[in-house]
Chains A and B, each alone.
Chain A
Amino acid sequence: MAEEKRDDLITVNIDGQDLQVPPGTNMVDAVAMLGKEVPHYCYHPKLSVAGNCRMCLVELGMPGKDRATGEPMLNEDGTPKIMWMPGPAIACGTKAAPGMHIKTDSPKAIESRESVTEFLLVNHPLDCPICDQAGECKLQEFSASHGRGYSRFIEEKNVKPKRTRLGPRVTLDDERCILCSRCVRFCQEVADDDVLGFTDRGSYSTLTCFPGKELANNYSLNTVDICPVGALTSTDFRFKMRVWFLKETNSIDFESSVGCNTEVSSREGKLYRVTPRRNDEVNDTWMPDSGRELYKIVEAEDRLHAASIDGQKASATDALNAASELLKTGGVAVVGSGSSTVEEQFALKKIADRIGTKDVYLVARYGEDDGLLISKDRNPNVRGALATGLISALPAEQLGDLALKINAGEVKTVFAVREDLAAAGLTEEQLAKVQIVALGTHANSTTEKAKVVIAGLTQFEKSGTVINQQFRIQKFHKAIPGPAGAIDDLAALAAIEANLSDSEESVPSVIGTAWKRIAAEVPMLSELSFQSIPDTGTLLDGSAFDSLEFVEGKSLHFEPKLEGANAQ
């Protein structure tokens, strides 16, 4: 916000430093712009201000005005006289006003914080050793940095319900709750599923679900993320691993074309959880619960661990050579995937060009959109296939054309990339009539019938880019290594392409260099490179595809173009 050139900026003074901010900026955010931190629990930039934790108390003053004349009061040296308020004020409930002065580290502010921390800790159990939040707990951090460091409390602590099931995915420990009401506000304001509330008064206040309801909506785990303490914990992640062991990798949620930005936590090659990563243009700080479970596909039982030829385990090199030979035979159809990365789709397009086939298909996956962060198009990267020229029209859910061509005997070999042909409408007889080369991550009826199977990598085991419904290209990174017998999809496709080509030139098998080719050949992606795409993605010009009727409806930061045009 501060970087934008605006002419209506106002000046506030924080700890003696002048700062230009847009009017109405929350003072917690304004202090953050200076690189300082006002400790806070209940304030969340994407939720309404509740102002109930009192942790962000600061000293506040405004330039004085003479009551009789309305003239500004001045000090002897001509500077405006600041009238400091007698008591501290909460920074989160204060919006920037011209000339406002705040002190975040004056003795009064520091003492206020220490006192608030002491009150918050009065009834807080000392169970950090068994608390999943330990290590990323705001109360733990601020108790160390803004607390007294010793306890004066000798009375009995309150007893509240522990290990309570709030919903299918959320477990609540009421003793740890500091009543910040972030979760309550999230359910009301973002998830639109008002199920949480407080019962009883004072120190007996208890977070609970309304009678007969449970926290079961598909966004319930966001309450766990925003809980500043360990009161709300994920039932799936509960007691699995301490957070200080986890390594975070930036990733993208592959469940729909929204492309939520995520962080994948892993330790020593094992995934433990997926959490949202803030991107104000796509998913704010939220993500759906369904996307958090996707990490389980890595260790799924039907995972392909090695390549095979005719059902016999083979080395990846042999499988790639066998696949190349099959693709040379002619009458080849290519079934690409909307869950491949842009780089893989580019390489697949090159393969289709090399074998000279026009039969390139994509399988669409449609579901219900929830208007928030799951769109109707359940493929994360259909627009990547359009941008790279792999397809020119929107895909269908069933491969009807391909089925007809197989029946007519025009297609003798099918190269299926990350798609199950049977699920896409091909019958057993049709699958038996053709030779199948399958590149995939999990066993399905296509890989069972395939002549050559190449084991690929999931989105957690490779890097790449995907283009979401806004035509925003976003990159994700490799979090863990894949199974020993699997091969990076891009490397596999590049190797096949190299086998098919007569010349020296072929698609590079490494993302960085592949992008040099992509930028040179794909007009929409020119001037881009994998390194230059920021972590929050770059918006592309998708106007070339305005004529296509994309299926996505409205979601958090997305307005469908066609509907908008019709409305006007």
Chain B
Amino acid sequence: MPIVVKRKPLNLLEKLYLPEIARGLAVTFRRMFEKKVTLEYPEQRPPIPEGYRGVPTLVRDPEGREKCVSCQLCEFVCPPKAIRITPGEIPEDDEHANVEKAPKEFDIDMLRCIYCGMCQEVCPEEAIWLQNQYSMSGYTRAEMVNDKAKLYELGGTLPDEHFKWKKKKEASRSAGDHH
């Protein structure tokens, strides 16, 4: 049902015009001295609340180990199929050789990503996080694909509660690599 908006006829004061101008300017001048509600974006950035779902990134643990083991669950769960992983093997002489597996390539197409956070939710290694970075731009489609180096640059280091792989390595060392 259409709503009919009634227009009140102007009263005398309003018809005089100038008093209303003054009233409007009064509002303007009052706001000039109040606290600002807008930001000078992009020079000024808003504070990002905790749990914000920004650009998905890859993180390292406090000891610098890349946490992703390329299990490809995020690639599987990603609704717009933005993630593409090429798994690889960690060589046996590597410091983290006991993890055995790490991504060789890891691409997230930010033109496809819908920032849903399913990748973060599904990750069994807590390696992929949607952090506070929210503005991605580029001049080409290729520029909008974040590769592994870019993802680690964006992700940085996050605290780790478990150090699961480190504990495993220590357990095998203390047991002399056997039993």
Stretch touching chain B among A152-160, A221-229, A369-377, A521-529: A152-160
Q: Enumerate B66-105 residues with CB–CB distance to A below 8 Å.
A: 69-73, 75-76, 87-89, 92, 97-101
Question: B88 touching A239 by the CB < 8 A rule?
Answer: yes
Flag B154-175 by CB within 8 Å of A: 1 or 0 each: 0000000000000010011001
Q: Enumerate B48-76 residues with CB–CB distance to A below 8 Å.
A: 69-73, 75-76
Flag A143-187 by CB within 8 Å of B: 1 or 0 each: 000000000000011111111000000000000000000000000
Partner of B171, one of A156, A241, A245: A156
Instruction: Verify if A129 is at the interface (C-beta below 8 Å from B).
Output: yes
CA distance A277 to B72 in the complex (A): 26
Question: A130 touching B100 by the CB < 8 A rule?
Answer: yes
CA distance A161 to B171 in the complex (A): 12
Question: B125 touching A159 by the CB < 8 A rule?
Answer: no
| Nearest chain A CB to B68 CB, angstrom units | 9
CA distance A161 to B72 in the complex (A): 25
CA distance A242 to B86 in the complex (A): 10
Name the A residues within 8 Å of B175 (CB-CB).
Answer: 159
| Nearest chain A CB to B55 CB, angstrom units | 23
Number of interface residues of B (CB under 8 A): 25
Known: A204-B179, A239-B89, A240-B87. A159 touches B100 (CB 8 A): no
Question: A244 touching B71 by the CB < 8 A rule?
Answer: no
Question: B92 touching A130 by the CB < 8 A rule?
Answer: no
CA distance A204 to B179 in the complex (A): 6
Name the B residues within 8 Å of A162 (CB-CB).
Answer: 98, 100, 172
Question: B178 touching A239 by the CB < 8 A rule?
Answer: no
| Nearest chain A CB to B168 CB, angstrom units | 8
Q: Enumerate A224-267 residues with CB–CB distance to B below 8 Å.
A: 238-242, 244-245
Name the B residues within 8 Å of A34 (CB-CB).
Answer: none
| Nearest chain A CB to B122 CB, angstrom units | 11
Q: Enumerate A334-384 residues with CB–CB distance to B below 8 Å.
A: none
Known: A128-B124, A130-B101, A241-B87. A158 touches B179 (CB 8 A): yes
Q: List 7 A-B contacts (CB under 8 A).
A: A128-B71, A129-B101, A129-B124, A130-B100, A160-B178, A161-B177, A200-B179
B residues lining the A interface (CB < 8 Å) = 69-73, 75-76, 87-89, 92, 97-101, 124-125, 168, 171-172, 175, 177-179
**Contacts A134-B71, A159-B177 known; 6 new A-B pairs at CB < 8 A:** A130-B101, A159-B171, A159-B172, A160-B179, A239-B100, A242-B72
4 closest cross-chain pairs (CB), A and B: A129-B71, A130-B101, A159-B175, A159-B172
